[in-house]
Structure 1
Amino acid sequence: MSNAELSNRRDTAVARGVGMQTQVYAERALNSEVWDVEGNRYIDFAAGIAVVNTGHCHPKILDAVQKQAASFTHTCHQVMPYANYIRLAERLNEKVPGDFEKKTIFVTTGAEAVENAVKIARAATNRPAVIAFGGAFHGRTFMGMTLTGKVAPYKKGFGAMMPDVYHVPFPIDLHGTSTEDALGAITKLFKSDLDPERVAAIIIEPVQGEGGFYPAPAELMRGLRALCDEHGIIMVADEVQTGFARTGNLFAMDGYDVCADITTMAKGLAGGLPLAAVTGRADIMDAAAPGGLGGTYGGNPLGIAAANAVLDVIEEEDLCNRANELGSRLKQRLESIRERTPEIVDIRGPGFMIAAELNTADGSAPNPEMANAVRAEALSRGLVLLTCGVYGNVIRFLAPLTVQDDIFTEAMDILEASIDAVKGH
């Protein structure tokens, strides 16, 4: 079996709307390495888009899943509940930022977590409207893609979006938008189009993910918290991509001096199994009536078992500090490359959620062509990278936090050689 044969079969069997960044078909993986069906080995700097923060097939997580599978794989928590669901909820209630009583629900995907956060906020406030940011990504369901601040490919061709969703600019100094501009846009929105008394929630990623790995300034978070407090609006932090040690804290909001009322999470929560959660102020989380929240697979026992093991691994292996160490080393290497690569106009991100933004050599315009060329060249040399950003000109780095030092160094050498090859150095 070859990658080419599987690609041909895929074209026949799978809808073309499922986009793919590579035509490399995985056969097995371990920690930061993946081998394809032809036996080729790759260093994984995508981690399933920040999912396997604890590495592929971590033995402690596999053991937890195998033990759970030997007991039972599904009962539906709403029908016959199980203790480890409660234990994980208790742990998240303790660990999610905020010095207040919390409660948690479990669902299956990040988009589903966001949908439920909106449902809960509307139930708690009896208000309909939601404010999100340009460049944001909140999922592919109808409310998720409506909240998402990027048209192609997420909204294109799918008809009318959900009502009562409003977007304001996200502050990006590199693109000429300040925190003052962003907060001013909300004030202007309240003056011209939207009564703040109709707003249920403001949702924000502490670091924009698909939008380009732009960290939210501390002043923005403080301003949003003040606006929410002033108008009785619920502040929602979408930590689907930033959660679980990726940013050098367990949650990115740990790095701010204000807290959200509701936090959504998924991706790194269960180390590769589909599990998502919504954690928030207890009184807000209890706003929905019994039966109003849930889902057949929400909090599947295998995912719950994996997530409890993930939290253990993060603590035992000190992965928050590991993220900061790896991120610092990556930034140093990128700065070295930048000295002879003027196309790299910004290197940013907390912890090990790092990105490099590429413009044309004169700095006048985004350079998605170079970003994609570097990604493709790195893949040909055995390193899996992802791009992102509204303009597609950002290379993001999302290796497992457990990546071995020698493999990390090998990846950096491949990255540098790939950039040099694209530049013709």
Structure 2
Amino acid sequence: MLLFVLSGVLPLAFAQVVSPLEIKDPELRALQERYMDDLKQLGADVVSIPTEYSFYLSRRLDLDEQRQKRADQRSIRFDRYTGKTVLEITGNYYAAYSTEKMGPEQRARETFRNIVFPILKVAVPRFQNNTSVQGYAFEISHHILGKVMEVSMERPENLVVVLSPQSAIQLVAGKDENEQQAALLKSEFYLNAKPVTIWLSGEGPQLTAQQSAAEPSDPPPSGNSVGVEIARGTDEKMPGAIPAPTLKTPKSADPPAPTRDTSPQALASLLAAKKEDLAGMVKELDHQAHFVSYAPPSFVAFRKAVYLQLSINTNLAEPPGGSRYRLAALAFDNHVSHLIRSVLGYFKDDSQFDGIGFSTNLHLASKTDNTASSQAVEFFFPFSALRCYEKFDCTGQQLIDAGTVLINGERVRLDLQIAEGGSH
């Protein structure tokens, strides 16, 4: 089936190209203006490519399909990657791969073959003689189906592809698979920021490599069998929209950390070592954090890791018809998110434990009878995600996706935009 049913290709194609006025870099803005006709035609070519599952060009990754249909689909633009000018294209592909049947590199290969390669076939001939184009970059989001702690979950996974002009030409013009594979081996591929290798034949030496640390509970792939389902996202299941990030060179995955000692003795020893730091933090941040007086900071074992647990009070005006998800989202946006950078300032060395848990008691004041109800929400965030958020390299939604959220002791998936938009 075609990606879209079009009544007029060129008007829609214009909607696939970012306006020059939205590009801040003057050199990139000038390129966007100069080659607008080529970019518009590329947009027309891209939306005419048949795909097995729905694909949309998009400024934002990880949107569920119903929201994507209404979202901004202008994504074709000039951008920079490691100092070079690249033609960048971002989009959402609504296929969902089973982690029980497909490893990370198999999933990357499927999205590359079904989306990126066909786009390169129409983009490279149009721009191969353009000396301003120093590379091609793609950010494509697809979905994966798997289990975490024996709970079936569907979540997004983002593929980044970067090719030099020479590799792109070699790939598109390659007479056989060996030439094309040689081009791929000179290119860059990242799946959720972790380097991967794509083997067109599916028989590369890294195909059976250990799955990424982001999927610790996924069973190993079963041979080369492929499991794909259409991802029919709903507001309840899918993660929230996040801006398509500016391309940065992803860092290689760190080696696995040694097993953390989570025994009561180790936790007590760590608490004693951090006693002065914690006391100072509570004294200086209490006006902002509203620490629970009867539950001082402590270290707890959570999912085979050690977290600093901070018990706080959050006061909210109860919104009309507010669901527990909306209240949890408001607690994060209005209170917890404002504490993170302040708390991290007390722990420059985070090697002794693995993250911070914010356990908040939500106190909901009713405007009608001045009574109050309460709800408990816990946010457990690993240090890697906290540091990313601290440096403004990650959004609040990305931080939540990297951590664990519990509402009244039950693990939930929290989408800030969907939850907070529920009453709008």
Determine if the TM-score, normalized by the shorter chain, exceeds 0.5: no
Pick the TM interval, shorter chain. under 0.3
Higher relative contact order (CA 8 A, sep 6+): 1
Q: Which is strand-richer, 1 or 2?
A: 2
TM-score of the superposition, structure 2-length normalised?
0.22
Q: Which is helix-richer, 1 or 2?
A: 1
Question: Which one has the largest radius of gyration?
Answer: 2
TM-score of the superposition, structure 1-length normalised?
0.21
